[in-house]
Amino acid sequence: MESSAPARVLIVAHRTAATPQLLSAVSERASAGPAQFTLLVPRVAHGLHRVVDPEDTDDTEAQMVLELALPLLEEAAGGPVEGKIGDPNPNDAVHDAMNAEHYDEIIISTLPARVSRWLRADLPSKLKPLGVPITTVIAKSSRAAGRAEQRASGN
């Protein structure tokens, strides 16, 4: 039951869409076999919109993420990466994307556990019923990266 079609990989990210950890994971996945990548960026609801009406959000911030991340992801993937903006709730955004188009794998890129709402909400586990492999990529904190750079430079 071999398929010649490349695997369709859905990348879910927002603030971590252009981190070295995600770029490395995409590069590794691209090296593992033929794949088509799509970056899904959930819109962000700020302030009271998060509670009152999270659907009433602006796409501007998500569009900026796509503009920054897509060229870097395309370089890591070795080919084109499609970009999509989704629901402010990342769980709903992924389900909407999976219902609209079938994806064979999901890569979730998130902030470190101590600050990640996605990990606190246990997003990876909530997506398991979709029945596709899920990889969670956790970005390193900028504070830890700064300390590593200081150690490397001898400061």
| Residue range of the domain that includes 92 | 7-153
The count of domains in the chain is 1
State the pTM of this model.
0.83
Residue 72 lies in a domain: yes
Three-state SS sequence of the chain: CCCCCCEEEEEECCCCCCCHHHHHHHHHHHHHCCEEEEEEEECCCCHHHHCCCCCCCCCHHHHHHHHHHHHHHHHHHCCCEEEEEECCCHHHHHHHHHHHCCCCEEEEEECCCCCCHHHHCCHHHHHHHHCCCEEEEECCCHHHHHHHHHHHHCC
Residue 95 lies in a domain: yes
Q: Which pLDDT tens digit goes with each residue over 51-104?
A: 455 455 678 889 999 999 999 999 999 999 999 999 999 999 999 999 999 999
- 152 pLDDT more than 90: no
Residue 18 lies in a domain: yes
Residue 148 sits in a domain whose CATH number is: 3.40.50.620
